[in-house]
Chains A and B, each alone.
Chain A
Amino acid sequence: MPADQRLVYLWGIAGHPEVSPALRALEADGWEIVVPSVAGFDGESGFVAPDEYLDWLTVFWDALDATGALPCPVVGASLGGMIAAELAAMRPEMVTSLSLLAPFGINAADTPGFDLYAVPAPERMSHLFAKGVPDVFADRFGHKGEEEAPVARYLSDIASASLLWPLGDRGVAKRIHRIRCPQLVVWGDQDELLVPGLIERWGGGEVIAGAGHLLEWDAPDEVAALLRRHLEAH
């Protein structure tokens, strides 16, 4: 693997407190992980959610273009999987390979999954992981102090909910036929938010036993191996 290889990573519903263990394994292989900066998910004050989905995609396109990393492989998890799929569908020349980890964007009304926003904010993290909440998520925004942490969490929730409310289905199913690059889809069989059967709507993929929604944290070795194999093949 050349040392100057890089990939873009788009984070999940709980934001990006630090690089996940699965991606750290890729870093150790020599991959540079490029993470665009998008307001809202960082919990910083002053964030106002864009009115419409197209406005949101514009925010993401601008942030991605600002990294200068594209075209390159793109890995998207959860909410970020939806954005990654949109990028590959709408700007196919920018994505050389696509890896989706339990992506939002397609859902089924008869199996809507767990309503994350219908539980108190402090309890939400426990529904994203099957093997316990990693410390960086358990203490998400804790560095901001007792008074500001709930506000930061609220802003981060606004950012994700304004994209995913109410079912996390943004009609991506109507656009995935435009994805031309090689695609890997991985799901955790313990995903509470998006039932694993949705993987068939994406054309099938790999299901990891015992992993929850943010599977790159629950099953880092398995996810890293799948990503490594996909990236090396394409």
Chain B
Amino acid sequence: MSYADRAEFHYFHFFPYTGLPADAADKESLWVDYSNSNYDPKAGHVLYQRYLSEMLLADKLGFDGLVLNEHHNSQYTMNPAPNLTAAALIPQTTSRISVFGTPPNFEYPNRLAEEYAMLDVMSGGRLDVAFPLGTGMEYWANAVNPATARARFRESLDVILKCWTEDGPQSFAGDFYTYRYLNPWPKPIQQPHPPAYIVGAGSSETMELAAEYGFGYSVVFIPTSMQLKVFDHYRDRLVHHGHEVTDDKVTIGIFAYVAETDEKAEEEFMPHVMYFFETALRTTPRYLNPPGYVTVPEFRRRITSADVHGSADWDSLLEINRIVAGTPEKVADAIANWVEEAKTTRVNLNIALGDMPNWKVVKSTTLFAEEVIPRLRSRKVVPA
């Protein structure tokens, strides 16, 4: 069987706040210090209702999972607390729920272990989680010194795993957190714990951490060709650390839009992709890299890399990301190639993107579920 036959499609929604005032176009950054006076709670209410309905549609159409993320001080997402959104979705859905995810550095790790365990039990074992370090921007918004980010992150993971996999009460003595009675109720229903991933931006440290802990791995904001090399290295490191390499260990992100013709699909999709990269992601390098947030090797890499936060052209976007707009056949072909070359069965699918109106989301989501997924699951390996 090909990877495409078995591919799982997890429907990713950013829950963006749109309808920004016209002068947003003049702002250097729409993260960190872009004033929340530009947020209209009534408009936000309408958007929450709409986005939840789009997630429910994806669930009813048979997508394998629903994916939420977390960011702070930004119009990029209205999900600073995605566990709340997940809790709202659980009783209305049957697919898996991925919280990709709350940075452990911004919550007490025992509390995060408890929240995820709650969601796992409430959903009957449908939870997947990712542990992000958090973007550099998040450290300007939260009361955590970025110089401690990586050490604190590792320790948080240790606390969470101890909560999930060992019977309490346990004690834990770390550099950042100390517990005399680590004994959280509930524990997760999935054993030994919910499937867990780490999302990185290509740094070897993050990839190594995922491999060491046996977590799944995903990478964003580096060219697809580089991602494939990192994935191969990650699989080698998984084996090195004694973990099994399964087809769902790597998650790839795909931006896709389906319409009647290739031309119509690109015409309908492109403005929202451009909005996503030029507006929603717009920030400055200095917010991306607060002092100490990245290691010195990663700092060296970043100062010579292209800035993907706020400046983009279509061709470079196509090079860095997996973006396809077209007929069901074209989209299915592209995705089949991507999952085969990445040797993965797990796809985070981005259809609802940027300032895309509801009718486009509904149209493309429906066409993807009814026309693309069946094509992929009935085909053999497609030559690259």
Contact = CB atoms under 8 A, between A and B. Distances in A.
B300 interface: yes
Contacts of A158: 147, 291-292
Contacts of A49: 147-148, 292
Given A51-B175, A52-B175, A151-B300, A165 B291 contact: yes
Contacts of B287: 118
B180 interface: no
Interface string A99-136: 00000000000000000011111000000000000000
A45 B285 contact: no
Nearest to B284: A120
Given A118-B286, A154-B291, A165-B145, A45 B296 contact: yes
Interface in B303-351: 303
Contact of A117 (B148, B151, B291, B296): B291
Interface string B292-306: 100010011001000
A122 B153 CA distance: 29
B147 A162 contact: yes
Contacts of A160: 291
B108 interface: no
A98 interface: no
Given A117-B286, A117-B291, A161 B146 contact: yes
Nearest to A48: B151
B179 interface: no
- Chain B interface size, under 10 / 10 to 19 / 20 to 34 / 35 or more: 20 to 34
Interface residues of A, number: 20
A200 B159 CA distance: 44
Between B143, B145, B148, B152, the greatest number of chain A beta carbons within 10 A of the residue's beta carbon is seen for B145
B290 interface: yes
A162 B148 CA distance: 8
A156 B151 CA distance: 19
Contacts of A154: 291, 296, 299
Nearest to B145: A165
Contacts of B299: 150-151, 154
Contacts of A119: 286
B185 interface: no
Contacts of B172: none
Nearest to A158: B292
Contact of B296 (A118, A121, A155, A166): A155
A227 B292 CA distance: 35
Nearest to B286: A120
A166 to B, nearest CB: 8
Nearest to A154: B299
Contacts of A150: 299, 303
Given A52-B175, A151-B299, A151-B300, A117 B292 contact: no
A160 B145 CA distance: 11
B296 A165 contact: no
Interface string B273-292: 00000000000111100111
Contact of A161 (B143, B147, B303): B147
B175 A161 contact: no
A151 B295 CA distance: 10
A161 B292 contact: yes
A157 B176 contact: no
Nearest to B155: A51
Contacts of A162: 145, 147-148, 291-292
Nearest to B295: A48
Interface in B102-119: none
A165 B145 CA distance: 6
A211 to B, nearest CB: 26
A114 to B, nearest CB: 13
Contacts of A157: 291-292
A151 B147 contact: no
A120 B300 CA distance: 16
B164 to A, nearest CB: 25
B290 A161 contact: yes
B211 to A, nearest CB: 22
B2 to A, nearest CB: 45
Nearest to B176: A51
Contact of B147 (A45, A120, A121, A165): A165
Contacts of A52: 175
Contacts of B145: 161-162, 165-166
B292 A51 contact: no
Given A160-B291, A165-B290, 17 more contacts: A45-B296, A51-B152, A51-B175, A51-B176, A117-B291, A118-B33, A118-B287, A119-B286, A120-B285, A150-B299, A151-B296, A151-B299, A161-B145, A162-B292, A165-B146, A165-B291, A166-B140
5 contacts: A118-B140, A120-B286, A161-B291, A166-B140, A166-B143
Question: What 8 A-B pairs come out closest when comparing CB atoms?
Answer: A162-B147, A161-B291, A157-B291, A158-B292, A49-B147, A165-B145, A158-B291, A51-B175
